A = this chain, B = another copy of it.
Amino acid sequence: MERKVVEGPVRSREKSKQKLLNAVGKILKTKGFTALKVNDIATTAGLDKKLIYNYFGGVDQLIDEYIRSQDFWSNITLENAADMPDDGGREFMRLMLLSQFDYVAKNKELQKILLWGLYESRKSLKRVADDREIAGEVLLKHISDPFFGEKALHFRALMAIIVSGIYYLDMFTAVNGKTFCGIDLTQAAGRTEIKKALESLVTMIYETQQPVKKKRTAPKKTVARP
């Protein structure tokens, strides 16, 4: 019986690099960023630590390459923007906040990265934050800014609070957290309550924070929802 037909040679620089990068991810997810030590990474990858120095120059560079290789904000997109109703992004923001709340909750890796970014100043981590800004800017600039006009900045501040609240609550729940303001975030009921609050916030904002002096242009009522 033939084996390893598709495997290729046992020794491959690229495969080993990948193993090391994967090891970083695994350790990050399971033990957190403080556990990212040379010895541990090497043994997790099943390789000698010397290779980390040979291939990446050191642990720091390996880690940076790992972080750069990940795309954490692929979920923030304008993909189906065409389907969206012309409501100043109201429906879009609603869906985005709700999905972000679940997305971060599920994505342990992103949680660790966010946390790490709050702990340490690191170029690659800064870039993750910058990428979020870039992804968000696309939405804000083209969707909400035009709609909110002179109140565009105000809307952004509101979103800043809400989005960062989502991040914190998800991270909080993943560790020590149980209740926040009496809401049990480990229970489905609690999470539903937060989601209702998010929806409520979007409604409030879009219904009371339009720019003054401008009659609200009646948005097309074509709401398609999954």
Interface positions of A (Cβ within 8 A of B): 32, 34, 115, 117-122, 125-126, 129, 133, 136-137, 140, 153-154, 156-169, 171-172, 174-177, 179-183, 193-194, 196-198, 200-201, 204-205, 207-209
Contacts and interface: CB of A to CB of B under 8 A. Distances in A.
Q: In the complex this chain forms, how many copies of it are found?
A: 2
**Residue in A162, A182, A207 whose Cβ sees the most chain B Cβ within 10 Å:** A182
A140 B180 CA distance: 12
B175 A156 contact: no
A119 B115 contact: yes
Interface of A is mostly: helix
5 contacts: A32-B120, A34-B119, A118-B175, A164-B172, A165-B165
Which 5 residue pairs are nearest across A and B when measured between Cβ atoms?
Answer: A165-B165, A157-B197, A164-B168, A161-B165, A160-B181
A154 B117 contact: no
A197 B161 contact: yes
